[in-house]
Amino acid sequence: MRALTGHRATWPLLALVVILIVDGIIAPGFFAIRIVEGRLFGTPIDILYRAMPIALIALGMAVVIGSKGIDLSVGSIVAVVGATIAWRIKAGDPHFVILLTALAVGILCGMWNGFLVAVLNIQPIIATLILMVSGRGIGLMINLIYGGTDPSFESPLLQGLSVGSIGYVPTRLILFAGLFVALWLLIRRTALGLFIESVGGNAAAANLAGINARLITFSVYVISGLCTAWAGIILTADVHTSDPVSVALFSELDAILAVVIGGGSLAGGRIYLGMTLLGALVIQTLATSILMSGLPPEYNLLVKAVVVLFVLLLQSNNARDAVFTLFRRRKG
């Protein structure tokens, strides 16, 4: 089992290392870390820092995908959470209450998805599509409540959680570590992970084994909603404005990608939290590298697609075998 885990991480890690080596060559000083304004400062810190929201969303996504589901609504949940924060700040709520409200909104969105999937038996891709489509509209409507002309705000508490730092370390990294450990304990130190994986692997069998597959399915969307709400708080407080139309756009795709790069299968049945984090780091390293490279922006998506393809090919046994076979034939 240990050997297997090591094996699973090998290829995504290799990909990450390759990207970093290329970065080191094209951008001198890429790895330099200094202290600026009382906090760690440098590109590696940026990568970790910027990867946190997508990593959070991806963790929730990993749990959902483990149950053979998918959550397309995460970007929209971020939009709704962001709009809610801006609205309640204008309404003058205590900021600590707003923090709890934001998390509650995420949980509520997750419960809605869970209700559609687990209770009404709508296929996850369709069920979450509903909130994906409507969520940004809901965010705009929330903005309209207070006029929506200037959705920017100031909140020492929320901004502290997002862009502040404790000692030299960015707060969001510390909070992420806390949430990651909590989620890991929930999945791996209770039987919830086993139940989710069994429902994802074979829902009928899990049900006949006495597991309440419906409740488990419901719970994964709530977990996803909660993780996404936290990402929404970070993203919204980061720019201290609510932008429902474009905040976290396509984040569902990046999250799914992170899970897949981490070795998760859309067929469900397995949850790899650590690997998903690695997948999110690969994606963000790539994104930051493109920005650092000075390439014209027209190449952004193409470069990303090519690198992701390369990473996924590395992971595919078939593709590796094919390459090795070709190599051997060439030699022979």
Partner 1 sequence: MGETGVTDSSTLRIEMRGVSKTFPGVRALEKVDLQLKAGEVHALLGENGAGKSTLIKIMTGALPRDEGEIRLDGHPVEINTTADAQALGISTVYQEVNLVPTLTVTKNLTLERQPRRFGLISWGRARALAKQRLKRLNLEIDTERLLGSYPVAIQQLVAIARALEDDTRVLVLDEPTASLDANETELLFKIMRDLKSLGIAIVFITHFIDQVYQVADRISVLRNGRMVGTAPAAELPRLELISMMIGRELAAVEARLATSKSEAGGEPVLAAVGLGRRRTMTPFDIALRAGEVVGLAGLLGSGRTETAKLLFGAIRPDSGQLKVDGKAVKRFSPGHSLRYGILFCPEDRKAEGLVGELTVRENIMLGLQAKRGWMRRVWKDEQKRLTQEMIEALAIATPDAEKPVGQLSGGNQQKVVLARSLVAKPKVLLLDEPTRGIDVGAHAEVVALIRRLCAEGLALLVASSELDELVAVSDRVAVLRDRRKVEEMSGADITRENIIHTIAGG
Partner 2 sequence: MSKLKWAGASVAGALMMFAGTSAFAVTIGFSQVGDEGDWRPAFSKDMQEEAKKQGIDLKFADAQGKQEEQLKAVRAFIAQRVDAIIIAPVVVTGWDQVLKEAQRAKIPVFLADRDVDVTDKSLFVARISADFNLEGKLAGAWLAAASKGTCDIVELQGTVGSAPAIERKKGFEAVVSQFPNMKIVRSQSGDFTTEGGKKVMEAFIKATNNLKGICATFAHNDNMQLGAIQAMKEAGLKPSQDVLMVSVDYVPAMKKALAAGEANASVELRSAIGKYIYPVVTDYLKNPKELPKWIVIPSDLHTAQGM
Sites of contact with partner 1 (CB under 8 A): 1, 189-192, 194-195, 197-198, 201-202, 204-212, 269-270
Shortest Cβ distance from residue 264 to partner 1 (Å)?
Answer: 12
Shortest Cβ distance from residue 189 to partner 1 (Å)?
Answer: 6
Shortest Cβ distance from residue 139 to partner 2 (Å)?
Answer: 13
Evaluate whether 23 touches 289 at the Cβ level (below 8 Å).
yes
Cα–Cα distance, 308 to 304 (Å, whole number): 6
Q: Which is nearer to partner 1, 77 or 192 (CB)?
A: 192
Q: Which one-letter amino acid corresponds to residue 36?
A: V
In degrees rounded to 5, what are phi and psi of residue 170?
-55, 135
Cα–Cα distance, 76 to 129 (Å, whole number): 10
Cα–Cα distance, 108 to 141 (Å, whole number): 17
Shortest Cβ distance from residue 270 to partner 1 (Å)?
Answer: 6
Write the burial class of residue 83 (CB in 10 Å: 0-12 exposed, 13-18 middle, 19+ buried).
Answer: buried
SS3 category, 117: helix
List helix spans (H) across 202-272: 203-208, 213-239, 251-261
Q: What is the CA radius of gyration of the chain?
A: 21
Q: Which is nearer to partner 2, 11 or 30 (CB)?
A: 30
245 binds, among partner 2, partner 1, none (CB under 5 to 8 A by kind): partner 2
Cα–Cα distance, 242 to 85 (Å, whole number): 8
* Chain centre to alpha carbon of residue 220: 14
Q: Which is nearer to partner 2, 250 or 324 (CB)?
A: 250
Shortest Cβ distance from residue 76 to partner 2 (Å)?
Answer: 15
Q: Which one-letter amino acid corresponds to residue 141?
A: M
Binding site for partner 2 (CB under 8 A): 27, 29-30, 36-37, 41-43, 46, 50, 148-150, 152, 163, 235, 238-241, 243, 245-249, 287-288, 291-292, 294, 296-298, 300
Shortest Cβ distance from residue 252 to partner 1 (Å)?
Answer: 24
